[in-house]
Amino acid sequence: MVVRNCREVKVQSVRFLGTWDEASDFVELTLENPGWESYRPGQFAMLRPKHWGLELPWGRPFSISRLDAETLTVFFQVIGRGTSRLARLNPGDEVVVWGPLGNGFSAPPETPTLLLAGGMGIAPFRGYIENHPTPEFLRLFFAHRVPLANYPYLAMAEKVRAEAMQEHTPEDLPRIIERIRELMDENHGGIALACGPTPFMRTIQEHAVAGGLRAELSLEKSMACGVGACLGCVCKNGEGKHVQVCARGPVFQADAVQL
Amino acid sequence: MDLRVEFAGLVLKNPIITASGTFGFGLEFSSFGDLKRLGGIVVKGLSLKPREGNAMPRIVETPCGMLNAIGIQNPGVEAFLKDKLPLLPWRETAIIANLYACSVEEFGDLAGVLSGEEGVAALEVNVSCPNVTHGGAAFGQDPAQITKATEAVKKRCGNKPVIVKLSPNVTDIAVCARAAEAGGADALSLINTLLGMAVDIKTRKPVLANVVGGLSGPAIKPVALRCVYQACRAVGIPVVGIGGIASAEDALEFITVGATAVEVGTANFLRPDQSFRIIDDLPRAMLKARAADMAELRGSLVLPGQ
Ligand SMILES: Cc1cc2nc3c(=O)[nH]c(=O)nc-3n(C[C@H](O)[C@H](O)[C@H](O)COP(=O)(O)OP(=O)(O)OC[C@H]3O[C@@H](n4cnc5c(N)ncnc54)[C@H](O)[C@@H]3O)c2cc1C
Ligand SMILES: Cc1cc2nc3c(=O)[nH]c(=O)nc-3n(C[C@H](O)[C@H](O)[C@H](O)COP(=O)(O)O)c2cc1C
Ligand code: FES
Of the candidates B28, B65, B70, which has its C-beta nearest A232's C-beta?
B70
- Chain A partners of B246 at a C-beta cutoff of 8 Å? 54
Which residue in B has a C-alpha nearest to residue A57's C-alpha?
B270
Verify that A87 and A125 share a domain, yes or no: no
Domain that holds residue A252: 113-256
Q: Mutating which of A50, A51, A234 best tests the B interface, going by the most B Cβ atoms within 10 A?
A: A234
Domain boundary among A80, A101, A122: A101
> CB A17: neighbour CB atoms within 10 A?
15
| Mean pLDDT (chain A, rounded) | 95
- From B68, B71, B59, B121, select the one nearest B92 (Cα to Cα): B121
Which residue in B has a C-alpha nearest to residue A8's C-alpha?
B271
The answer on pLDDT for A62 being more than 80 is: yes
Q: Residue B133's pLDDT is what?
A: 64
- ipTM exceeds 0.85: yes
Domain boundary among A68, A101, A134: A101
The answer on pLDDT for B159 being more than 70 is: yes
Verify that A135 and A230 share a domain, yes or no: yes
- From B84, B80, B94, select the one nearest B16 (Cα to Cα): B94
Of the candidates B23, B32, B64, which has its C-beta nearest A57's C-beta?
B64
The answer on pLDDT for B134 being more than 90 is: no
The answer on pLDDT for A2 being more than 90 is: no
Compute the distance from residue A123 Cα to the ligand 1 centre, in Å.
13
Task: Exactly one of B102, B129, B157, B176 is catalytic; name it.
Answer: B129
Summarised one tens digit per residue, pLDDT across range B228-271 is 999 999 999 999 999 999 999 999 999 999 999 999 999 999 99
Phi, psi of A60 (to 5 degrees): -120, 135
The answer on pLDDT for B152 being more than 90 is: yes
**What DSSP string runs through chain B?**
----EEETTEEESSSEEEPTTSSTTSGGGTTTS-GGGSSEEEPSPB-SS-B--PPSP-EEEETTEEEE-----B--HHHIIIIIGGGS-TTTSEEEEEEE-SSHHHHHHHHHHHTT-TT--EEEEE----SB-TTSSBGGG-HHHHHHHHHHHHHHSTT--EEEEPPS-SS-HHHHHHHHHHTT-SEEEE--PEEEE-EETTTTEESSTTSEEEEESGGGHHHHHHHHHHHHHH-SS-EEEESS--SHHHHHHHHHTT-SEEEE-GGGGT-TTHHHHHHHHHHHHHHHTT-SSHHHHTT----TT-
Q: Verify whether ligand 3 is closer than 6 Å to residue A233 (CB atom).
A: yes
Does A214 fall in a domain? yes
Does A107 fall in a domain? no
CATH of residue A28's domain is 2.40.30.10
If pLDDT is split at 50, 70 and 90, which confidence band does A25 have? confident
Residue A79 CA, closest ligand 1 atom number: 26
Inter-chain touch A230–B63, beta carbons under 8 Å: no
Residue A62 CA, closest ligand 1 atom number: 5
The answer on pLDDT for B15 being more than 70 is: yes
The answer on pLDDT for A24 being more than 90 is: no
The ligand with the least distance to the CA atom of A220 is: 1
Verify that A122 and A154 share a domain, yes or no: yes
Summarised one tens digit per residue, pLDDT across range A37-50 is 999 999 999 999 99
- How close A55 comes to chain B (CA, Å)? 4
Inter-chain touch B269–A247, beta carbons under 8 Å: no
Domain boundary among A76, A101, A126: A101
Does A108 fall in a domain? no
Residue ranges per structural domain of chain B? 5-297
Judge whether B102 counts as a catalytic residue.
no
Residue A87, H or E segment: helix A81-87
Q: Residue B96's pLDDT is what?
A: 98
Verify that A80 and A150 share a domain, yes or no: no
The answer on pLDDT for B84 being more than 90 is: yes
The answer on pLDDT for A23 being more than 60 is: no
Tally of domains within chain A: 2
Q: Residue A97's pLDDT is what?
A: 98
> CA B181 from chain center: how many Å?
17
Look at A234-248, B69-83, B132-146 and tell me which has the smallest mean pLDDT. Answer: B132-146
How many residues can be counted in chain B? 306
Does A225 fall in a domain? yes
Q: Which is it for strands A71-77 and A24-32: parallel, antiparallel or unpaired?
A: antiparallel
Verify that A35 and A86 share a domain, yes or no: yes
Pocket of ligand 1 (CB under 6 A): A 44, 58, 60-63, 74-77, 79-83, 120, 123, 220-223, 250; B 61
- How close B305 comes to chain A (CA, Å)? 34
- Chain A partners of B266 at a C-beta cutoff of 8 Å? 57
Verify that A73 and A180 share a domain, yes or no: no
Residue A144, H or E segment: strand A138-144
- B5-297: CATH topology: TIM Barrel (3.20.20)
What is the rounded average pLDDT of the residues A129-144? 96
The answer on pLDDT for A5 being more than 80 is: yes
> CB B146: neighbour CB atoms within 10 A?
28
The answer on pLDDT for A95 being more than 70 is: yes
B303's CB contacts (< 8 A; 6+ apart) are none
If pLDDT is split at 50, 70 and 90, which confidence band does B136 have? low
Q: Do residues B44 and B24 lie in contact, with contact meaning Cβ atoms separated by under 8 Å?
A: yes
Of the candidates B52, B64, B273, which has its C-beta nearest A242's C-beta?
B52
If pLDDT is split at 50, 70 and 90, which confidence band does B132 have? low
